[in-house]
Structures are given as structure tokens and as C-alpha cells.
Structure 1
């Protein structure tokens, strides 16, 4: 099956990473999946023209109902959509966008929400389409890099000192965007860093972050338990294999249109 996949592909964003991962799931099942940036299209007509070109696409997929899914409204092949956080947290508040999202949801063969809460909110704000909304948490996979050198990475990031291997580095992986601003505790952490230069912040978290981090450093049993439970949580709720099987099954449902 030849599938068109639309998503917002700004560099170093969660959408881009998620889209690439889902594409790999689809292609591992033997399908052809062409990933395109939704920002490259000005209208649904452009996407409809692309879909019909020879050899034609047989189905489509989109992340974000409004940003990308709206571009699929004119196509004549079955498609599925994946909710983005902006769909429910922002776009549903704008009447014009909400109407378009409802049209997309009605026409879609299936929709995927990353959490039960997101599904519940989608059913509350949009037309009830519970039977076609599936919950599939995002899969997580980590790989060891043989070429990565921790000390060199810290120095290249501006962390100076002779004993970088002794640092307590707190890391939160996220982008520096206004809507998800992780920098609002810089002043607090800077004070802690001045008291103890071994404590280094790469990116920060919620208000109680410093207090909990201090506790984590002093209570080894807590740290071991947190690491162990974190691994178990990822295995149970963010299983890459389960995510792969879900998208393979949903894409196969497009073939039965």
C-alpha cells in the first residue's frame, strides 16, 4: 500500500520525531509511506492533486486534525488522523477551526489519541466519534551511542570545570517554545548552582524540581526505585512493539475501505 503521511515537520520537535517513528512502523509492515511537511501545501486541492498522481496513493495519514488533517478533506482515498496536543488545547477554542476538525473526524476512517484524557476531551469538544478513536501512547526507544562522550558533550554545552564526570546533571528533554517554556525556574536553579557548582541544569521542570532533585541525590533507595519504576512504566505504557502493532493494524484497515 502506498500511503501519504502529512505532519508538521519543524526540526527537533516532537511531531517530527513521532512522525518518523510511525513511518518506520508502517514501512516495516511492507507498505510505502511518503512523509511530507503539511506546511508545504496551501490547500486541500494541492494534496488531492498529489494523491491522484501516477502511481496514485492508496491512503493517507495525518498528525494534527486542523494543521494537517484539514488538507485531506478533498481526497478520494481513505485516511486516518492522529490528534496533536494543539488540536484539543488550542484549536478547539476557535469556532472556525473546530468546525473543520469535526469534518476531518467525520471523514476519517480512524483517529488516534495518545492518552485516555485526550480521547475524552476530543469526544467532549468535538462530535462524538468514540468508536473510531483509539488510544495508543507514544512508544519510547533508547539506544546506546558508542561515539557519544558525556564529558565532551558537557564541555561543548558550556559546562566548564576539571571534574565534569562528578557533576549532578539534571536533564529534561524538550524544546524551548513559548507554549512549553521550560525556563521559568532558571533563577531558582542558578541560586542552587552557586551554592553547589556540581549541580548543573540542562533543562528544567516544575516548581518543586529543585527540592525533589535534592532529595533524589540524598536518598539512594529513592533514586534506585525511581529508575526501576520509570523503566517499568515505559515498558507498560510506551511499548514500542505495541505502538508498531497498532499502526500496522490501523493502516491495514484503510485497505478494507
Structure 2
């Protein structure tokens, strides 16, 4: 089947990474995926022209509002993958909420990444209860991957050995709630008192790398990270510093969080299970939209 996969594809964002991964899953099953950036289109009519030009038989949209609304009114069947923004932010705006409800009426299925996301969506759009599935984002594990800290330190001009350092990797995105500079002020003050601690801002990764996770306490993170079990959740920069100091001084807590986090990833974020789920769901789009 020839599929249109519509998503917001800003580089290095979770949306772009997820879209590429889903496309790989579907193409592995023999489908052809035409991946397009939703922000390149201003109206459903432009998508209609694209569907005709690309001879697409069905569609899949990542983000109910940003991408899904562009699929309204077309005669090809489509499915939806919820984004966190859909249920945590856009659903609070009446106009967007109404539009998303209409999109769900037309969709053959919808995918939520967590049970809490599914529950929130069902509260907002109860008519879609029977078509919402839960599939966690899959992770292709790389158990033999290594990282050379000494090489990193040389390139970073940090004049200390790796044995004496505590490095904090900040996993960040583009929205305000994921502001990469959120911790800089408080962390800078801590670094002045304790020169062995450093904050490194990076893009992709974390539980699967067997490092303890400290995450900002927002709905998307809280749905994945269980406080003091699979990671630590903070609400303010000052709380982050407090929890980080606790982690540095408590090896037993670090070991427990790392172990639980790794087990959680293996149980709930299987790349193969994700592939199987999307390959099965896409079968719901086969045949005419009148089925």
C-alpha cells in the first residue's frame, strides 16, 4: 500500500525521530511511505493535491491537530498518532478541541504513547474510546555501545579526569516547557561551589544507557518516569540541584534507579513490539473508506 505519512519534521525533534521510526516499521512490511512535513501545507486542499499527485491509498498523521486536521474530508482512510501537545495543550483550546474531535470521528484508529495519554484523550473525546490504542515508543537497544569520556573531556577542555567528575546530560527539545536553558542559572551556582559537576546539553537518549534520569515534572515525563523508582522528577531548578546532590551522594539510590529504568525500557519500550503494532494497525486502512 502507498501511504502518506504526515508529521512535523523540524530536525532533531521527537516528532521527526518518531516519524522516521514509524516509516521504517511500515516499509519493512512492504508499504511505500511518502513522508511529508505538515508545516509545508496550509489547508486540506493542498493535501488533496498531494494525495492525487503521489497516488496515496491511505494516510497516517503524527499529531492529531497539527497534521490530522489536514486529512479531514478526503476519501482515503487514515490513522492518527497522538502527540503530547494534543492532549496536554491543544485540547484546552475550545476551537482546536472541536477540530480534533472531528478528525477522530474520521480516523480508523488512534495511537497514544502511554495509558495516561489514552485516558486524557478519552475524557476529551469519549466518542473515540473504541479506536484508541496504546503503544509506547520503541527503542532500538545497543547493548555494546560505549562512550569514551576521556576523549569527550579533551574536546570539551574540561581539565579533570573522568573519575572525579559528575556529568549531567540535559535532554531537551524546542518548546518552552523543554527549555534547554531552564537549569543553567541554578546549575551555574552549584558549579561555583562544586567545580566537579558539569551540565552537558545534548539531543537524543537515556534510561537505556544505564544512567540515572532526572526529568522535569511535566505530564509527558511523569507518564514514563516514576519518581524515585525509574528516575527522579523535579519541578524547579532548585529542586533539580537538591535531587542531583542527593543522587551524587547516594550510590545505592543511583544503582536502584538505573536497574529499574533499564528493566522498564526493556518491558515497555520494545522496538519489535512497536513495529508489530504499527504493521497490524495499518491493516485497518486497507480497502475503501466506506468499509
For 1:61, what is the secondary structure of its paired residue? strand
Corresponding residue of 1:245: 276
Q: Equivalents in 1 of 2:90, 2:47: separation in Å?
A: 22
Partner residue of 1:195 out of 190, 193, 202: 193
Q: Equivalents in 2 of 1:34, 1:153: separation in Å?
A: 38
Corresponding residue of 1:113: 112
The root-mean-square deviation of aligned C-alpha atoms, in Å, is 2.3
Partner residue of 1:183 out of 181, 187, 203: 181
Residue pair 1:70, 1:100 contacting (<8 A) in 2 also? yes
Residue pair 1:6, 1:62 contacting (<8 A) in 2 also? yes
Corresponding residue of 1:96: 95
Residue pair 2:13, 2:174 contacting (<8 A) in 1 also? no
Corresponding residue of 1:68: 67
Q: Equivalents in 1 of 2:144, 2:181: separation in Å?
A: 28
Corresponding residue of 1:235: 266
CA offsets 1:84-125 (integer angstroms, 9 cap, x no match)? 111112222222212211111000000011111111111212
Q: Equivalents in 1 of 2:173, 2:75: separation in Å?
A: 36
CA deviation after TM superposition for structure 1 residue 73, in Å: 0.9
Unaligned runs of 5+ residues in structure 1 are none
- Larger deviation, residues 176-185 vs 15-24: 176-185
Unaligned runs of 5+ residues in structure 2 are 202-213, 216-233
For 2:34, what is the secondary structure of its paired residue? strand
CA deviation after TM superposition for structure 1 residue 188, in Å: 2.4
CA deviation after TM superposition for structure 1 residue 146, in Å: 7.1
- Larger deviation, residues 214-223 vs 1-10: 214-223
For 2:247, what is the secondary structure of its paired residue? helix
CA deviation after TM superposition for structure 1 residue 29, in Å: 1.2
User: How does the TM-score come out when normalised to structure 1?
Assistant: 0.90
- Larger deviation, residues 85-94 vs 104-113: 85-94
- Count of equivalent residues: 255
Corresponding residue of 2:16: 16
Corresponding residue of 2:245: 214
Residue pair 1:59, 1:78 contacting (<8 A) in 2 also? yes
Corresponding residue of 2:37: 37
User: How does the TM-score come out when normalised to structure 2?
Assistant: 0.80
CA offsets 1:2-28 (integer angstroms, 9 cap, x no match)? 111000001111111111111111111
For 1:202, what is the secondary structure of its paired residue? strand
